[in-house]
A and B are shown apart, each in its own frame.
Chain A
Amino acid sequence: AQSVTQPDIHITVSEGASLELRCNYSYGATPYLFWYVQSPGQGLQLLLKYFSGDTLVQGIKGFEAEFKRSQSSFNLRKPSVHWSDAAEYFCAVMYGNKLVFGAGTILRVKS
């Protein structure tokens, strides 16, 4: 069965430090991959997506993600975290018409 794994439930980083959130998926074909962010009390907002082509994709708010087929991974990165980045982050993979989400990673930013 298709699945998406986010191994880290919580991550805490200092403001200004770099960030990497991990995501692994299981799917036989080339996947369509997404990262969403959820601020408290809000719905999900799309950060970036990968369909094909360049494996390093840029998103909004200074985020980027790299698709690595050999590792079945799509990790999210940001070089310098801001306090406003504190939120929950979801990786998702599209299988046909269905979008399957990972369990989420809660990011805490300490000043």
Chain B
Amino acid sequence: EAQVTQNPRYLITVTGKKLTVTCSQNMNHEYMSWYRQDPGLGLRQIYYSMNVEVTDKGDVPEGYKVSRKEKRNFPLILESPSPNQTSLYFCASSLWGGAGSPLHFGNGTRLTVT
């Protein structure tokens, strides 16, 4: 089944403890992206990747890192999480990232930083 898989689904951590949220897609998509969803703000893009080894900042990249060493995986790294990064995170992928290529979303990771 074609899908975007995020892990974990739920994560509670403490301020400053490094964490990684994994994202994997099995559709051979070139484009991958991370969003965070907060009430009243919709989804905001954190980082995106047009292809392997190519990543770029979205609208809210501060406090996050990503890597794209292989096409299928696009992990989101929080080196030193803070409470304002408590949010619902979505990974998404598409064939090439342009308008004609709809995004496929994972089921989300709910992160709580205390």
Chain A: residues with CB nearer than 8 A to chain B? 4, 6, 9, 32, 34, 41-46, 49, 51, 90, 94, 97-104
Give chain A nearest CB distance to B5 CB in angstroms: 11
Interface majority SS on A: helix, strand, loop or mixed?
Answer: strand
CB-based contact B43/A90 at 8 Å: yes
Chain B 41-63, CB within 8 Å of chain A: the 1/0 string?
11111001010000000110000
CB-based contact A43/B106 at 8 Å: yes
CB-based contact A98/B43 at 8 Å: no
CB-based contact B103/A90 at 8 Å: no
- Report the interface size class on chain B: 20 to 34
Interchain Cβ contacts under 8 Å between A and B, 19 examples: A6-B42, A32-B99, A42-B107, A43-B4, A43-B92, A43-B108, A90-B43, A94-B98, A97-B31, A97-B48, A97-B97, A97-B98, A99-B33, A99-B103, A101-B42, A101-B43, A101-B44, A103-B41, A104-B42
CB-based contact B99/A51 at 8 Å: yes
Given contacts A41-B108, A90-B42, A103-B42, list 14 more A-B pairs with CB under 8 A: A6-B42, A9-B40, A41-B107, A42-B107, A43-B107, A45-B105, A46-B102, A90-B43, A97-B97, A97-B98, A98-B48, A101-B44, A102-B42, A103-B41
- Chain A residues with Cβ below 8 Å from B42 are 4, 6, 90, 101-104
- Chain A residues with Cβ below 8 Å from B50 are 97
6 closest residue pairs by CB, A with B: A43-B105, A32-B99, A101-B42, A101-B43, A103-B42, A44-B105
